[in-house]
Every structure is written in C-alpha cells, then in structure tokens.
Amino acid sequence: MTLVAERSTSALPAVPDHPVYRAFEGLVKRWVRSAERSGRGRRAPGHVDRDLRVRVAAVREIADGVRTFTFVRRDGGQLPSWDPGAHVDVVLSSGAMRQYSLNSDPDDLSHYRVGVRLIEDGGGGSREMHALRVGDELILKGPRNAFPFIDSPGGYLFVAGGIGITPILPMLRDVARRELPWTLIYTGRTRASMPFLDELATIVAGHEDRVHLWPDDERGAPDPRRILELAPAGAALYCCGPPPMIESIRSALLVEHGPAGTIDTLHYERFSSLPVRGGEPFRVRLARTGEVVEVDAHTSALAAILREARPRAAYSCRQGFCGTCRVGVIAGEVDHRDRVLTPAERESHMMLCVSRAAGEVVIDL
C-alpha cells in the first residue's frame, strides 16, 4: 500500500479557540504523551535503525484477499519505537520496496505487524508479500511517520475504507485507553472483505455504538455528508482509503465548512499515487544511454520511465516524500513538487514520482 498524508495550516488569526491554536497545543501535548509512554516502559523515540533485519514470525489470512505479516528481529531484540500512523518500508526479494502501515500495538516492541491486500493487477508488491512464509528473512526500513496522530481536544472522527483500517487501529487503541471522544466509520465492499473486524470488536468493547460498519452490499456507497454529521463536536478527522472516498469527504468539508475548515481538520492517507495537477508535457533524456522518454500532461516521469525504459527503476511511495526515486539532474529546469529534497539538493536532483520539467530535463539514469 502506498501512502501519503497531507496536513496544512491556514494563515488565520491565532486566537485561543481557533483550530490552528488547538492543533499547536495538541502537538505539544503529543510530545508530553510520548514521554509518559516512555515512562511506562516504552522506549522514547531515538535513532532509527534504517536496516532492520527481521524474519516472518506469523502469517494470517484475516479477510478475503487480506493477510497480516508479523515480523521480529533476527537477533531477538526490540524493534525501534513508533507512534500511531507510522509505516515501514519492506524490501522485497525482487529488490522492490513497498510501504505498509504498522497496525500492531506501539507499546509492544517485540514485533511489528502489517496488513496487505492482494492486488492481482497491481505493481507486484502485494503478490510478493503474499508469497512470504513463516521463517522467511528480509529487511525493513524505518519506521517513519507521514500520517502523524496529533492530540485533538474535540476528539476524533475516523474514516477507514477497506485496508485503510490498518493505520487507524493503533489510533483507536490509543484513544480508547485515554477515554477520548471518537467515532469510527468503516467501509468496504462486503463484510468478508473488511479486515480486523474481530480485533476491532475487542478494541472498542463497551463503545460499540460509536462504530458504524458500512459494507457497500448492505448499505450502498457511504454518503460523505452523513459521515461528517457523525463527528464529535470539534473533532479531528482521520481518513485512510481510496482516493475517491477521500476526495468526496474533502469536497463535503468544503461545502459545509469552507476552505479553512478543511485545512484545519482533515488528515488523510492515500492508497495510490497523487493525480497530476496542472501538468504540461515534457521530455526526460537518460544521460547514460541517450534514450528520450516522452511524459504526457497526465503522467508522472516515474510512470513513463517505468513503462518505456526502466521497468525495474527504484521507487516506493510515489508521493514525493520517501526519496527512493531521487535522481541527479544534469540539465534542464525542474518544477519541484516533492516534500523531501532540501533547497540545496534541488539544485542538482529531482524526484521522478511528482516533479516535472519545462521542455526537457537530462537525468543521471
């Protein structure tokens, strides 16, 4: 699953009851909460071992086409600490790297767990994951967090679409322990396709009235306006799922609350690459071979290169934040759209997954 989280703030007056003020206050509280967790035996976040050598300790089929994979360190030690919303990069035997949300308990560092839905017509990552067996060894990178879980005095509205429940589970565990107000809307094609239903029932025990299961075959497509009506007053909205679901909720927020409301309350992860917006055609010349790849207005440079010239080129997030598809730029004017390169690095590099160019760009590939 490919992920991206988007969080923005507007330039509005910072009065005490304004959402921006509350968000800042929440960030401070979150650091305090991390320290408190450390005091209960959880290691405080420190240096992250970028190459975690692990083995597969368990594989479980938990829904139609969905399996969980539990990883432990080969040396038997504890894994690096993480917060809800974090993911790991899984280095597959083919050399490909894919990102999956951690959905185990952040307070138990004896193992990591991820959930993967098999996508037969996808890029092949899920097929490789589903071929893993207990005892297999591989490397994880991370964990990293592109979907940070901030404190919200008004509580939370969680919206999960199918496998999008994976990053939401640790968030639910956290708010349930702290007895904060929350509501969960969980959608899917059918109940049989919706993973973690049994585990979810345990997490929310005593608060089943806050959970709304909306399988498409039983209730039809979810209504984004109805979803927003179920939010606790002043809640932060955390949404993970297919792009159409996210865009419908974003649109509903704009109608109900205006741009400022959308910016200050919505946190989300996508399952696929960002759509190209405002794109113009350009060419990519591969310096090592002289090959020229035409990139149309609606396609990323990465997708065009994978399709036409380098089918095994390295990539991971396809969202401009992981850095895997970074390449050197020899000539050309780049329209940088990533969130990882520093200003100095942008003088000589670009991210193929999101950045574009004017006319032609020559890259070291």
Query: pTM of the entire structure?
Result: 0.71
pLDDT at residue 256, as a whole number: 63
pLDDT for the residue 354:
92
Q: What is the pLDDT of residue 120?
A: 84
Sign of CA dihedral 41, 45, 47, 51: positive
Q: What's residue 27's pLDDT?
A: 42
> In this predicted structure, what is the pLDDT of residue 274?
66
Block means of pLDDT (10 residues each) for the chain, 365 residues, are: 35 37 42 38 41 96 97 96 93 87 96 95 86 96 86 89 95 92 94 96 94 94 86 86 84 64 57 74 95 94 88 74 86 91 93 94 96
Q: Which domains does the chain show, CATH number per domain? A: 52-144 (2.40.30.10), 147-270 (3.40.50.80), 282-363 (3.10.20.30)
Exposure b/e, 241-265, CB count within 10 A at least 16 = b: bbeebbebbbebbeeeeeeebbbbb
DSSP string, 74-108: TTS-PPPP--TTEEEEEE-TTS-EEEEEB-S-TT-
